[in-house]
Chain A
Amino acid sequence: MKPTPLTIAAVVAVVLTYIRVIFFTPLEALQGPAQKILYVHAPAAWVAFMAFGLVAVASVLYLWLREDRLDRIAESSAEVGVVFTTVVLTTGPLWGRPIWGAYWTWDARLTLTLFLWFIYAGYMVLRGALDDRATRARYSAVLGILGALLIPFIHLSVYLFRTLHPQPILMKPSAPSLPTEMLTTLLMAFASFTLLYVALLRARYRYAVTRDGAHPPEGHGAQ
């Protein structure tokens, strides 16, 4: 598969962002270079949530409209989401070790992210364990919807274990609590990661189309 202009643009945007992160963004006074991991961690988390949100939306729409395309979107978005969740779960401990003194704590957000990873890893295993395309689409849509319903419950139950995670920097009622230079870099990282997500989603979707075209559904149960 040749890289599309979108993929190239996404990769270039990410590379430019990290050139800025490494060479043109000041060091944080207390945390030093460790703080720069924020520019990977936070946008990856944003993309993961967006990806799983799209899985839920595509799943509901699939059960309603029965469009194969919607199933392929859910499939692609879940897979890309798991990749970004893995990035979140890897970069977090790398930062946590020098700053918190521990790779892992059972903080509400960490636990929630870990369970997101479990839910959608299960989602991918379920897909792999089903051969019939229509059954696979229906089952995974059901799991995609229930998974989205579960998230607030996990969040509520683990929230009662006091949270240690840094509080929101951008999405909060008062003004963002970052110096302008760092804020610009962070916003660039969010934008380039979103672009990367769209590019990966499209590439994964095109793969699903090619695959389904190569193995046309046989007989009953696959209309």
Chain B
Amino acid sequence: MRELLRDAWLIARKDLTIEFRTRSAFFSAVVFSLLAIVIFYFAWDATAVAAIDLAPGVLWVIFTFSGLLGMHRSFGVEQPDRAIDGLIASPVSRESIFLGKAIASLVFIVAVQVVAIPAVGLFYNLPLSGVALPLAAIALLAAIGLVAVGTLFSAMAVNTRLAELLLPMLALPFFVPIVLPAAQATARLMSGRPVGDAVAWLKLLIAFDIVFVVACTLAYPYTLEE
């Protein structure tokens, strides 16, 4: 178990170093999020619908799509020169390759959230300061689920003829039980309801995370073998 986590961390660090040195995906995901915030604002009549009614939905749609952007890169970076073969040949277990990839994507998504959540609060003039902590918890729980499913499908999609198109097609149905509770819980918190009102939704998120982190880690080796 300790070895698994240590190897996973090694692989995550490799991916994060690549990302940190190039900053290509992170920068585009942040700009994408800001653009989406702006576009959404003009997509509805701001005099008829209050920003607070739409913000939770906007937030979660943005995370879903910017997350897909990052996840596509997760295994995309291993495509040139078939670098994935080097990873498979290295003395680490296949589960730790998956966990490492997932940890790197998780850091990526959380970093995007750290920029995007305050930006939504700022642009839409929302009272976020009072709910910052529970909101961060929801964001993290949702990000774990997104990353588990997204990493597995990214590993499969890069080897197909339809790579970019297939990842959202496979992953989005799996994001429903994440986005729905996360947006509902966010809406409850933002409208000033007590945290207890969001507990049922949080439980659903936690259950999803546990089931799919385990299932995807176990399923990943089957997508590799030659």
Q: Which positions in A face B, CB cutoff 8 Å?
A: 63, 115, 118-119, 122, 125-126, 129-131, 135, 138-139, 141-143, 145-146, 149-150, 153-154, 156-158, 160, 220-221
Contacts and interface: CB of A to CB of B under 8 A. Distances in A.
Interface string B191-226: 000000000100010011001100110010011011
Contact of A115 (B159, B170, B173): B173
Given A146-B212, A160-B200, 18 more contacts: A115-B173, A126-B156, A130-B160, A131-B161, A139-B156, A141-B222, A143-B156, A145-B219, A146-B149, A149-B211, A150-B173, A150-B174, A154-B176, A154-B177, A157-B177, A158-B180, A160-B184, A221-B226
A141 B216 CA distance: 13
B156 A142 contact: yes
B116 to A, nearest CB: 23
B181 interface: yes
A150 to B, nearest CB: 6
Interface in B60-95: none
A153 B208 contact: yes
Given A63-B222, A156-B204, A122 B173 contact: yes
Nearest to B161: A129
B162 interface: yes
Grouping DSSP codes into helix (H, G, I), strand (E, B) and loop, the A interface class, with mixed when no group exceeds half, is: helix
A84 B94 CA distance: 38
Interface size class of B (residues with CB under 8 A): 20 to 34
B223 A138 contact: yes
Contacts of B222: 63, 138, 141-142
Contacts of B149: 146
B166 interface: yes
A221 B176 CA distance: 35
B179 to A, nearest CB: 9
Contacts of A157: 176-177, 180-181, 204
Contacts of A135: 159
16 contacts: A115-B173, A118-B173, A129-B162, A130-B161, A135-B159, A139-B159, A139-B223, A141-B222, A142-B152, A142-B156, A142-B223, A146-B149, A146-B174, A146-B215, A146-B216, A157-B177
Contacts of A130: 159-161
Given A125-B169, A129-B161, A157-B176, A149 B223 contact: no
A156 B177 contact: yes
Nearest to A156: B204
A130 B163 CA distance: 11
Contacts of B212: 146, 149
Contacts of A142: 152, 156, 219, 222-223
Contacts of A129: 160-162, 166
A157 B215 CA distance: 19
A130 B174 CA distance: 21
A146 B150 CA distance: 12
A143 B220 CA distance: 11
A133 to B, nearest CB: 13
State the 5 A-B residue pairs at the shortest beta-carbon distance, nearest first: A129-B160, A153-B177, A129-B162, A157-B177, A157-B180
Contacts of A160: 184, 200
B223 to A, nearest CB: 6
